[in-house]
Amino acid sequence: MPELPEVETVRCGLEPALVGARIDRVEQRRPDLRFPFPERFVERLQGARIETLSRRAKYMTAALSTGETLIMHLGMTGRFLLAGRKTAEFHREGARSETHDHVVFHLDPEALVTYNDARRFGFMLLADTAGLDCHPLFRDLGVEPLGNGLNAAWLNDAFRGKTAPLKAALMDQRIVAGLGNIYVCEALFRAGLSPRRAAGTIVRARGTPSARAEKLVVAIRQVLGEAIEAGGSTLRDYAHADGSLGYFQHAFRVYDREGEPCPRPGCSGTIARIVQSNRSTFFCPVCQR
């Protein structure tokens, strides 16, 4: 589910309640998610104060007063639900526990944070805060698409010589970190580039970056920015930390729109669906070249 805009929306929703709060108690209701929980997971969290809540790519990281950082990934169906002292959910705790509520954090000042994940592709790990950038999960991540690291000159270098399709290259977290299936499709549409084109064909061998690379960078930043503004996309499971839904899904131009007319003014194409790397790609074969 959650690509960068969704993770960022969740992070923003949790931040006010989490940062500065102390973790009083943790209910860990099963031994694993995608991976086993760390040794003594509950004990290492209880009593810790949360100092910061950040995002890197599709990961959320909570730096703790203990010197460790809680690393969280939502996989496909992970959700965090925040209930404050005054909310009904808080008082109906227990009676209201849902099927796939796997972890519950009890915070002080009083708040409940529940992690729900039907498919359990998400995970939580603990790692030393010092040197977190060298952690195996983070070490090889590429640039943040909304940061200064992503620009046409850089992309030009990153894609030079690559024979992988553009779609696959943009999904590769080692190059640009945080894009997923939806936003790659949407960015390629906006840039007018075919997902099938080899990544290396949009760059120039030398000198100034190509107009195509320039256009792609603008499209990526635009679509992510608009999606965050809209609170992300809700297809099935995704929800904000307060339970509300995103609405960027209504703004998709190609994703899940197979058979619909191309929304580009003047284009007579029809949105197609193909499979690349075992994932669906949606695009307009007429105006994306």
Partner DNA sequence: AACACCCCCTGTCGGC
Partner DNA sequence: TGCCGACAGGGGGTGT
Told to judge if 279 belongs to the known catalytic residues of this protein, a careful annotator would answer: yes
Q: Smallest distance from the beta carbon of 185 to DNA, in angstroms?
A: 9
Question: How many other CB atoms are found less than 10 A from the CB of residue 236?
Answer: 8
CB of 132 to DNA, least distance (A): 15
Radius of gyration of the chain (CA): 20
Rounded to a whole number of angstroms, the minimum distance from the CB of residue 38 to DNA is 15
Report, in Å, the least distance between residue 109 CB and DNA: 30
Cα–Cα distance for residue pair 287/289, rounded to 1 Å: 6
Do 137 and 111 touch, CB atoms closer than 8 A? no
The answer to whether the bond into 263 is cis (omega within 30° of 0) is no
Residues that bind DNA (CB under 7 A): 1-3, 6, 34, 57-58, 73, 75-77, 99-100, 118-121, 137, 162-165, 168, 171, 173, 179-182, 232-238, 277-280
Read off the amino acid at residue 98: E
- Cβ proximity to DNA, 104 vs 182, nearer residue: 182
Instruction: Check if 3 is active-site.
Output: yes
Is 27 a catalytic site residue? Answer: no
- Please tell me which residue in 11, 56, 58, 167 is annotated as part of the active site: 58
CA–CA–CA angle 70, 73, 79 (5° rounding): 105
Least Cβ distance, residue 231 to DNA (angstroms): 11
CA distance 249 to 255: 9
| Closer Cβ to DNA, 209 or 232, answer by number | 232
Note every long-range contact of 31-36, with CB atoms under 8 Å and residues 24 or more positions apart, other chains counting. Answer: 32/120, 33/75, 33/102, 33/117, 33/120, 33/121, 33/122, 33/123, 33/124, 34/73, 34/75, 34/120, 34/121, 34/122, 34/123, 35/123, 35/125
Beta carbon nearer to DNA, 107 or 181: 181
Q: Is 6 a catalytic residue?
A: no
Q: Which is nearer to DNA, 49 or 221 (CB)?
A: 221
Catalytic residue (one of 196, 221, 279, 285): 279
Which member of 3, 6, 68, 214 is catalytic? Answer: 3
CB-nearer residue toward DNA: 107 or 132: 132
Residues forming the active site: 2-3, 58, 279
